[in-house]
Structure 1
Amino acid sequence: MTSCPRDVALDEMRKVGAPPARVEEAKSALPDPIDLTRDDDLLGRFGLTRDQLYDRLGASP
């Protein structure tokens, strides 16, 4: 399991210009921590990909 703190996902949403209301919705819907495999579909609902979050975490390809 590869996980990511929810705050990293929320920061990424802000970085790409998501409206504050959408970020708040994600804050309520996303678990903490986020399992990047299990929660991939949920991330997509908020316009995120696990690759974006891997990049934010400094993962190499």
Structure 2
Amino acid sequence: MRPMRAAVLHAYEQPLAIEEIRVEAPRAGEVLIRLAASGVCRSDLHVQHGRSPVARLPMVLGHE
């Protein structure tokens, strides 16, 4: 497993926590990409405020 930093939402209506998480090594047919930055967009804010029916906490946000 490789360490990386992530913006994690643990509870609705709370700030994101920047944490070091562990990510499994890629399996056959997968790749691991190094990112310099990732944005938090409006859909992430909907999750943060509890307006997404598919969100399961804790959740890593930032997909842009």
Q: TM-score, normalised on structure 1?
A: 0.28
Q: TM-score, normalised on structure 2?
A: 0.27
Indicate the structure with greater strand content.
2
Indicate the structure with greater helix content.
1
